[in-house]
Amino acid sequence: MLINILGQTSSESDKQTTSESDKQTTSESNKHTTSESDKQTTSESSKQTTSESDKQTTSESDKQTTY
């Protein structure tokens, strides 16, 4: 009886305390901060600056000069 009680108390209490508290704190705070702020800043600013300025400058000036 003593072995069963100690075994259940250790495995149940330790596993729940570690997995629930640590996983929620790490995944929620880190994922929101990284994905939201970094993705918006990189995709929006970089894509607009590259595609708009480069494509217009190259296609308009080169095509008119060649034709």
Q: What is the pLDDT of residues 13-48, one digit of tens each?
A: 555 555 554 555 555 544 555 555 455 555 454 445
Asked if pLDDT for residue 9 goes beyond 50, the answer is yes
| pLDDT-derived band at 12, boundaries 50, 70, 90 | low
Single-letter amino acid, residue 46: S
Asked if pLDDT for residue 67 goes beyond 60, the answer is yes
Asked if pLDDT for residue 58 goes beyond 50, the answer is yes
| pLDDT-derived band at 51, boundaries 50, 70, 90 | very low
How many Å apart are CA 67 and CA 55, to the nearest integer?
18
